[in-house]
Chain A
Amino acid sequence: MDTLLQQLLNGLVVGSVYALVALGYTMVYGILGLINFAHGEVLMVGALTALTVITTLMGVSPDMPPLLLLGIGLLAAMVVCMIVAFLMERLAYRKLRNAPRLAPLITAIGVSFLLQTLAMIVWGRNYHTFPQLISTTPMQPIEGVYINPIQITTIVASAIIMVGLVLLVTRTKLGRAMRATAENHRVASLMGVDVNKIISLTFVLGAALAAVAGVLFASNYGIAHYAMGFMPGLKAFTAAVLGGIGNLGGAMLGGIVLGLVEAVGAGYIEHLTFGFLNSSYQDIFAFVILGIVLIFRPTGLLGERVSDRA
């Protein structure tokens, strides 16, 4: 029972990070019909930018309070990621907006390689220790179940951001313009919406979420490197498909469900396979789920209810 509770908690933590990244996939898909495979790399750029900023600041003024450090690092990561995403859309995708779907898809994979390679040149091929500025000392709220402050931060921060995003999309003129653009670019522009601006904004918003996810991810594991965006990116894509791509609620649900399934699966995989596979095979679950969803419910758990598109 303790194992189950513990794994559910771990799953919730990693699931919230997936959800944040999945939102970026789903927003871009909703508005452009494009799977932006480079989105995972944005997370990586965010984590590494924060790393550089934080370690530099630590060198300059060692007395800075850790939360301030993290805050500045996060802010820098968000700004850099937003610029990267803006350029990505402007330079790589915009010209291909009316091209056959395969062209932007392949371009996205190319952008992903490009960002990874650039990151390798800038930050090197080594694993970096990411400073854990929020304590990782486990607490034990229930006997046998551990949780640490960074995990709590991850869950709370993700929840706040997701609520904020939903409010933005459902309650503001920007959200209205995004939904209008998602439904029909041409009509939206004929009704006075600057479609290019809204699409840029969608990329930039998604990138800001990915930056937060990257910093949280690196803070949880204490590690950052140039290829760290690949796996969470792929998992978040799976989460977005699982929830119903194009659907905000679906991305959140998909992320959490995927995190939970993966964590619980990892906790029991040894028992289930009689010791043949251990918990390092936890990635199996994400992709088995992706396979099952694509076969039996290609529109995802919440379908493609277009009303939630953004």
Chain B
Amino acid sequence: MIKLLEARNVGKRFGGLTALSEVSLTINKGEVYGLIGPNGAGKTTFFNVLTGAYIPDDGEFVFNGIELPVGKPHLVVEAGIARTFQNIRLFSQMSALENVMAGHHIRTKANIWGILTQNKHTREEERLTTERAYELLKYVGIERFADTICKNLSYGDQRRLEIARALATEPQLLALDEPAAGMNATETSQLKVLIEQIRRDGVTVLLIEHDVKLVMGLCDRLSVLDFGKKIAEDVPAVVQKNEAVINAYLGGGKHE
């Protein structure tokens, strides 16, 4: 097992509220790793700290053996981590294709002079970006909507587009924040197929999800957060039987 991402004692406080406290976990290359927990447990905060949107108060992330930059989201993307959002955040006025192309921004090299002069390298790069964007739209199954302004896409297709945009950044770790939220059963099972495909293509997946069936079916290992603390980490079958987890979800035991 090769370590891809290691969180070391990550902590984040908002005023008096401790959103994350001493969260440590390790994600191995090639696995689908789940992060679950009741509402307000700190899952999304973990994502925000990981991707550089928030600055952690304690701890650090080590990605591929290198410490991730803090507070500079675009550098985290460059390092190879891409994410989607719990509530969809596409560039709503752009076409689906342009959204995906925007995701590819960090992997392109053309500079301002190249763009102003439209030299050969810039044009070639733009052509490849467009081609790649079409491929990704096809990959997630919405290539027929390439030129549709994305606010006009259906909810499920917008979620797929977010995944395509994230994949356009060429990530090694794809972080999905509740990708199945609001999806019906058919859409969820299609999503499951897509995530499995992504993993087969060599991208490690970090998944926050409420749909327990989806998580248990997809994840190789998972962590459970409750009140900002990690209370369990193991393969799904073991976590399911963990008493602390059952208490956290059913509200029994220690927090009463």
Q: Which residue of A lies closest to B118 (CB)?
A: A172
Residue A306 lies at the interface, judged by CB distance under 8 Å to chain B:
yes
Task: State the interface size on chain A (CB cutoff 8 A).
Answer: 24
Q: Within 8 Å CB of B110, what residues of A?
A: 173
Residue A191 lies at the interface, judged by CB distance under 8 Å to chain B:
yes
A190 touches B108 (CB 8 A): no
In the complex where A173-B115, A192-B103, A193-B106 touch, is A187 in contact with B93 (Cβ < 8 A)? no
Residue B160 lies at the interface, judged by CB distance under 8 Å to chain A:
no
Interface residues in A182-234 (C-beta closer than 8 Å to B): 183-184, 186-195, 201
A176 touches B74 (CB 8 A): no
Q: Within 8 Å CB of A309, what residues of B?
A: 93
In Å, the complex CA distance between A187 and B162 comes to: 11
B85 touches A187 (CB 8 A): yes
User: In the complex, what's the smallest C-beta–C-beta distance from B194 to chain A, in angstroms?
Assistant: 19
B98 touches A176 (CB 8 A): yes
B91 touches A189 (CB 8 A): no
Give the interface centre of A173, A192, A201 by most chain B CB atoms within 10 Å: A192
In the complex where A168-B115, A174-B112 touch, is A190 in contact with B101 (Cβ < 8 A)? no
B83 touches A192 (CB 8 A): no
Q: Within 8 Å CB of B103, what residues of A?
A: 191-192
In Å, the complex CA distance between A186 and B94 comes to: 16
Residue B165 lies at the interface, judged by CB distance under 8 Å to chain A:
yes
B115 touches A190 (CB 8 A): no
Contact with A along B91-108 (1 / 0, CB 8 A): 111100010011111111
User: In the complex, what's the smallest C-beta–C-beta distance from B108 to chain A, in angstroms?
Assistant: 6
Q: Choose among A173, A174, A184, A190 the residue that contacts B77 (Cβ–Cβ < 8 A).
A: A190
In Å, the complex CA distance between A173 and B116 comes to: 11
Give the interface centre of A180, A193, A309 by most chain B CB atoms within 10 Å: A180
Residue B204 lies at the interface, judged by CB distance under 8 Å to chain A:
no
In Å, the complex CA distance between A190 and B50 comes to: 11
Q: Within 8 Å CB of A307, what residues of B?
A: 93-94, 149
Q: Within 8 Å CB of A44, what residues of B?
A: none
A193 touches B74 (CB 8 A): yes
Q: Within 8 Å CB of A184, what residues of B?
A: 89, 91
In Å, the complex CA distance between A188 and B165 comes to: 11
In Å, the complex CA distance between A132 and B126 comes to: 42
A192 touches B106 (CB 8 A): yes
Q: Which residue of B lies closest to A306 (CB)?
A: B93
Q: Choose among A177, A179, A183, A191 the residue that contacts B165 (Cβ–Cβ < 8 A).
A: A191
In Å, the complex CA distance between A177 and B108 comes to: 12
Q: Choose among A172, A187, A192 the residue that contacts B89 (Cβ–Cβ < 8 A).
A: A187
Give the interface centre of B82, B91, B108, B110 by most chain A CB atoms within 10 Å: B91
Q: Which residue of B lies closest to A175 (CB)?
A: B115
In Å, the complex CA distance between A301 and B82 comes to: 39
B129 touches A173 (CB 8 A): yes
Interface residues in B144-174 (C-beta closer than 8 Å to A): 149, 165-166, 169
Q: A188-B102, A192-B82, A192-B103 known; 10 other A-B pairs, CB under 8 Å? A: A168-B115, A173-B126, A183-B91, A187-B91, A188-B91, A189-B73, A189-B74, A190-B73, A191-B103, A192-B169
What are 23 A-B pairs with beta-carbon distances under 8 A?
A172-B115, A173-B110, A173-B126, A176-B105, A177-B105, A179-B94, A179-B102, A180-B102, A183-B92, A183-B94, A184-B89, A187-B91, A188-B91, A189-B73, A190-B51, A191-B165, A192-B74, A192-B77, A192-B78, A192-B106, A201-B112, A306-B93, A309-B93
The 9 closest A-B pairs by CB, nearest first: A192-B106, A192-B77, A307-B93, A189-B73, A187-B89, A180-B102, A194-B74, A176-B102, A190-B73
